Chain A
Amino acid sequence: MRCALARRRESDPMHSTPLKLVWLLATVGLAGYLAFTLASPGADRRFFQPGPLTDGHHQIEIACESCHTPFGGVRQEACLDCHTAELEAALDSHAASIFDDPRNAADLDRIDVRACVTCHTEHRPDITAPMGVTLPADFCAPCHETVADDRPTHRGLSIDTCASGGCHNYHDNRALYEDFLVEHGNGGPETFAGVLPPRETRVSWDAVERAPLTAADADVPASALGDGGRDSFAGAPLTAADADAPASALGDRALIEAWAGSAHAAAGVGCADCHRPGGAAWTDAPALPACAACHELEPEGFLAGRHGMRLAAGLEPMSPAHARLPMRPDARSLTLGCGTCHDAHAVDVRRAAVDGCVACHDDEHTAAYADSPHARLWAQELAGEAPPGSGVSCASCHLPREPRRVAGGERIVVEHNQNANLRPNEKMIRDVCLRCHSLQLSIDALADAALIRRNFAGRPAARVESIDMALSRRE
Chain B
Amino acid sequence: MIPGLLGACQEGLAGSKLVDMSKLLADLCLRAFALCLRAFAVVALGAVAFGCGGGAGVGGDEPGGISPQVMADALHTVIEADRAVYARHVVNRLQDEEQVIEASEHWQDDRALPLPAQMFRMGAELAAERTDRFRYALLSTWPVNAQNAPKTEMEAAGLDALAADPSRPFYGTETLGGVDYFTAVYPDVAVAEACVNCHNAHPDSARDDFAVGDVMGGVVIRIPMG
Contacts and interface: CB of A to CB of B under 8 A. Distances in A.
Given A91-B108, A98-B125, A104 B21 contact: no
Given A105-B176, A109-B177, A24 B125 contact: no
Interface residues of B, number: 27
Given A103-B137, A103-B152, A97 B125 contact: yes
Contacts of B146: 150
Contacts of B176: 102-103, 105-106
A108 interface: yes
B177 A97 contact: no
A429 to B, nearest CB: 13
Contact of B222 (A21, A97, A102): A102
A20 B20 CA distance: 9
A233 interface: no
Contacts of B152: 103, 106
Contacts of A24: 18, 21
A101 B105 contact: no
Given A91-B108, A97-B129, A180-B109, A102 B203 contact: no
B220 A103 contact: yes
B179 interface: yes
B135 A102 contact: yes
B203 A473 contact: yes
B18 A103 contact: no
A104 B177 CA distance: 9
A86 interface: no
Given A98-B125, A473-B203, A105 B21 contact: no
A139 interface: no
A104 B222 contact: no
B21 A20 contact: yes
Nearest to A107: B151
B155 interface: yes
A100 B121 CA distance: 12
- Place the interface of chain A in its size category: 20 to 34
A177 interface: yes
B106 A179 contact: yes
A17 B19 CA distance: 10
A133 to B, nearest CB: 22
A174 B135 CA distance: 28
Most B CB atoms within 10 A — which of A21, A104, A109, A177? Answer: A104
Nearest to A24: B21
Nearest to B25: A27
Interface in A103-131: 103-106, 108-109
B83 to A, nearest CB: 17
Interface string B74-92: 0000000000000000000
Interface string A446-475: 000000000000000000000000000110
A299 to B, nearest CB: 26
Given A150-B146, A179-B106, A106 B125 contact: no
Contacts of B125: 95, 97-98, 100
Contact of B18 (A20, A106, A473): A20
B18 A101 contact: no
B56 interface: no
A106 B147 CA distance: 13
Contacts of B106: 177, 179-180
A135 to B, nearest CB: 20
Contact of B137 (A20, A101, A106): A101
Interface of A: 17, 20-21, 23-24, 91, 95, 97-98, 100-106, 108-109, 143, 150, 174, 177, 179-180, 473-474
Interface of B: 17-18, 21, 105-106, 108-109, 124-125, 128-129, 135, 137, 146-147, 151-152, 155, 176-177, 179, 181, 203-204, 220, 222, 224
Given A102-B181, A105-B176, 17 more contacts: A20-B21, A100-B128, A101-B128, A101-B135, A102-B224, A103-B176, A106-B151, A106-B152, A106-B176, A109-B177, A150-B146, A150-B204, A174-B109, A177-B106, A180-B109, A473-B203, A474-B203
User: Which 3 pairs between the two chains have the least Cβ-Cβ distance?
Assistant: A105-B177, A97-B125, A105-B176
